[in-house]
Amino acid sequence: MERLIEGYKHFLKDVFPRRRDQFHLLAEMQAPEWLFITCSDSRVVPDLILGTGPGDLFITRNAGNVVPIGSGDVDGVTATIEYAVEVLKVKHAILCGHSDCGALKAALDRKGLENLPKARRWLSHVEAAFSHRQPPNPADGEHAELAALIRGNVVAQLLNLKAQPSVAQAVAHGKLTVHGWYYDILSGCIEQYDEEMRRFLPLILDAAGGKR
Ligand SMILES: [Zn+2]
């Protein structure tokens, strides 16, 4: 815990005073423009990747960046989405998967979940990834099969996201745009799903490490 305490001391002493005005403005309201749905994976750090900060991203995270559908249950993800769209009125909803995702690895390998009944049930939500699996990208090397499935999961969860009643309505009225992203941890590159072309393309053409 020492590292976290040291980090917090740094925040109180150096970071907070510099941004005091911003935190005061945010103390009683938020108006984020973006809903960001991503995996719990510690290597995906949205504010670091996107240059955002307090008040910018409304974030919900879970194993496999899942948007559960069809269960009839209330869950934290869909409740968060509903609040973001209906109350905060975010303009964009971004669903972001990532390379080397353990959730999709488990779905592919069918191993390691024997003693994890809850994780096993949760990951049944990523089964749809198999029907939306993307063509393997040679740039992904030996991980091409997994990466193709992870991209397929982004497409599957994007469909689930668009099927949420609040999202469907906001999109129909031109108030909300949804995006599907794949973030590559090794290169830092983000790809965006192009629904017309039904494939992933670089979010920006000259992305760092842009060897793709
Ligand atoms: Zn993951």
**What digits encode the pLDDT tens for the residues 89-146?**
999 999 999 999 999 999 988 777 888 898 888 999 999 999 999 999 999 999 999 9
pLDDT at 4 over 50: yes
Q: What is the pLDDT of residue 111?
A: 79
- What is the whole-number distance in angstroms between the Cα of residue 31 and the centre of ligand 1? 27
Rounded to 10 degrees, the C-alpha dihedral 41/42/47/49 comes to -80
- What is the whole-number distance in angstroms between the Cα of residue 81 and the centre of ligand 1? 19
**Spatial CB neighbours of 76, under 8 Å, sequence gap ≥ 6:** 60, 62
pLDDT band at 71 (very low <50, low <70, confident <90, very high): low
pLDDT at 23 over 70: yes
Task: Tell me what the mean pLDDT of segment 155-184 comes to.
Answer: 98
- What is the whole-number distance in angstroms between the Cα of residue 62 and the centre of ligand 1? 8
Catalytic annotation, pick one of 43, 92, 120, 198: 43
Kindly give the interhelix angle for 76-86 and 165-172, rounded to the nearest 10 degrees: 30
- What is the whole-number distance in angstroms between the Cα of residue 157 and the centre of ligand 1? 13
pLDDT at 211 over 50: no
109 belongs to the catalytic site: no
Q: What is the CA radius of gyration of the chain?
A: 18
pLDDT at 53 over 60: yes
41 belongs to the catalytic site: yes
pLDDT band at 10 (very low <50, low <70, confident <90, very high): very high
Kindly give the interhelix angle for 165-172 and 144-163, rounded to the nearest 10 degrees: 80
Catalytic annotation, pick one of 101, 125, 151, 184: 101
Q: What percentage of the chain carries pLDDT values higher than 70?
A: 95
Residue 81 tokens read as 């989405």
- What's CA 90's distance to the chain center, in Å? 15
Which amino acid type is present at position 159? L
Q: Which residues surround ligand 1, an ion (CB under 5 A)?
A: 39, 41, 101
Instruction: In whole angstroms, give the CA distance from residue 153 to residue 104.
Output: 8
